[in-house]
Structure 1
C-alpha cells in the first residue's frame, strides 16, 4: 500500500498536539486570572492569544483525527480538506482577537489603568515557560510540513512573543511605574501575530479555492516534461490543486504514438513524482494536436479581443 507510511507522523503529530493543548489551556486560564487580578492588558493580550492557541490546537487535533478516516464513496478524498479548513478558522480567530486587543489598547491610552507589576511579572514568566514548552513540542512536529501543526506552532510563537512583551512591560512598570507601556507592548505583539495570521490566511484560502501550490510554476513544468520525455509534444489542460497539502494533478499530453503506451504513461508518472512530488496524477494521452482556447493554459494568455466570437 502506497499510503501506509503516513500514520507514524500523524500519530506523532497528534501526541504533540495533545500535550501542547494541555499545557496551553491550563496556562491560558492562569493568565486570564492574572490579567484580571493585576489589571494588565499585556497579560490579557497574551491570554487572548493563548485562547486562540488552545482552539487552534484543538482544531488541529480534530483535523489529524479526521485526516485518518478512510475515503468513502461519498467523500473520495476522505476528510483531508478539513485540516485546511481548521487552519483557515484559526487564522480568522487570530485576526479577530488581535483587533479586539488593539481596540482595548487605544481605550487605555485615553484612560490609563493601574497595573500590579509584581503579579504581572510572575504570571508572565510562567506563561513564557509554558509557551516555550508548547512551541518545543510542536516544532518537533513541523518537519512533516503539516499546515495545521505549523498553524498551531505560529500561534504559540505569537504567544511566546506576547509573554516576552508582558515581562518587559512588568519590569518597566515595577521600576518606573509608567503604565502606558502595557497597552503599547500589547499592540506590538498583536501586530506581529497579525502578520503570521495573514500569511496563514492566504495559504489556507489558496488551498480552499483549489489554487495551485505557490511553489509550482506550471509553465516551467510543461517545458521540463517536454524536454525530459522526447515523445511528449505538448502539455495542456493542466490542473493542480491541494487536498490536505497533497498535490493532485490532471493533464492532457499530446504524444507521438508510442510503441509501448503503458511504459510512456509510467515515464510521465515517474517524472512528476520524482521532480515535483506529485503522487496522484490523472493523465490523458492524445495523438492529435489540441486546438481550443485553453490548450495553452498558463503560458500565453489569448488576446481577449480575439477570443470572443464575433
Structure 2
C-alpha cells in the first residue's frame, strides 16, 4: 500500500478522529467526506506531517512520514488546498509551471519537454485562452483550475485536493473529476479529495473515507453509501411550526422540492393529503377525491381554495 494509517489519532490538543486503521494504493480514487469541523483538513495536514499525530503512525511508500523531509513528502504528494495564496505578478502559465520546480532548483530553466507538458495541462483544463492572464484577473473557478494544474505538473504519485470543486460549475466539476480519474487509472496515481457532495463518490470515486462521530469509516464507495442512509437521504428541514406535511411518494429530488415548496407557502395542516409523483405529474388524493396537477402553480391554486 502506498498510504497507510496505523492506529492513528488525529487532532490538536484533543482528538478529532480516533484509532484510524486504513490504507490506499496507487490507482485508487478516494473521496474524503464529512460535515464541517469534523477534521477533514486536519487529517490532510496530518498526512502531510504539517500537524503532529496524537497517536499512531502514517506511512508513505512504506516510510514513516516522521522521518521524511518536507521536500521528500512534496515529491510524493502534490496538494491543492481550498484556499491558496496567490503569487504576485504571475500568469496562469507561470503558476502551473511552478509544479515542475519541485524537481529542480528555482533558478533552472524548464526543459522543452516540461514546457510541452505544461501546455498540455493548460489545454486539458480548457484554460488555453487564459494562459497569459495575470492570476488576479482570473475568475475563482479558473484560478482553482490553475492550482489543480500546478499539482498535475508536479508529477507526484499522489495528489491530495481539499474541496477542489468548491468554485466550479457543474461542467467544470466534471472536467476536473474525469481528468483526475483518467490520471489515476492510466498513470497509476493515488487521488484523495475532500468534498461535501456524496454524488461525486458514486460517479467518480472507488473508495470513501467518511468521518463521523470521531471515527473514519473506510471502504468501497458503494458499500459506505449503502450503510449510511443519511448521505443518500438529505434531511427535510422543518422551520414552519404551523405546517403539517402530507404523505409524499416520490423520488428524492421531487420529494425535497415539494416539501420545501409546501412548507414555505402553507401554514396549515396538510397531513390528510397524499401526493404521488407519476409520469411527470403530481397526483393529490384523499379518501374522497383524486386530482392530477402539472405544476406547483396549479397545486398552489388548488390548496389555496381547499377548505
Shared fold, TM over 0.5: no
Length-normalised TM-score, structure 2: 0.25
Higher alpha-carbon Rg: 1
More strand by share: 2
Query: Normalization by structure 1: what TM-score?
Result: 0.25
